[in-house]
């Protein structure tokens, strides 16, 4: 009986560890927090090369719903920032988020804020 209990305990542990990886990225709201207009917004899985266009939150403060589903969590988001050019927000975690705000400052660089 004890070997069966060990097998069950191991199976339960594997399932609990594997569960978060199954969550993946889903629909989210993209917010332009840069203070300037954005253009040509695109997304790719982190550390890959293929960029895919997404709806742009073009005007400063604009919010855009992005219909998106992917088994991964880490993504890069790129946009042309008015007066600056292309900017990439690297390793953005899109799992379990409601909204992602793209921010940029001349001295601090590019960062994201998350709304879970």
CATH number at residue 100: 2.60.40.2890
Q: Would you say residue 17 lies in a domain?
A: no
88 burial via Cβ count (<10 Å: 0-12, 13-18, 19+)? middle
pLDDT at residue 101 greater than cutoff 80:
yes
Q: Which domain holds residue 98?
A: 24-115
pLDDT at residue 70 greater than cutoff 60:
yes
pLDDT at residue 19 greater than cutoff 90:
no
| Kind of pairing between the strands at 28-32 and 63-66 | antiparallel
If one counts the domains in the chain, the total is 1
**pLDDT confidence of residue 4:** 53
Give the pLDDT band of residue 12 (cuts 50, 70, 90).
Answer: very low
| Gap between the Cα atoms of 84 and 67, Å rounded | 27
Question: Which of helix, strand or coil describes residue 10?
Answer: helix
**pLDDT confidence of residue 17:** 43
pLDDT tens digits for 30-53?
999 999 999 999 999 998 999 999
């Amino acid at each position: 009986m004890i070997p069966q209990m060990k097998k069950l305990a191991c199976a339960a542990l594997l399932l609990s560890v594997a569960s978060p990886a199954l969550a993946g990225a889903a629909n989210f709201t993209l917010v332009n927090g840069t203070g300037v207009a954005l253009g040509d917004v695109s997304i790719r899985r982190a550390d890959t090369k293929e960029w895919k266009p997404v709806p742009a939150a073009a005007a400063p403060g604009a919010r855009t719903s992005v219909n998106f589903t992917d088994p991964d969590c880490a993504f890069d988001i790129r946009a042309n920032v008015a007066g600056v050019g292309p900017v990439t927000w690297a390793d953005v975690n899109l799992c379990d988020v409601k909204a992602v705000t793209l921010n940029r400052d001349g001295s601090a660089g590019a960062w994201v804020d998350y709304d879970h």
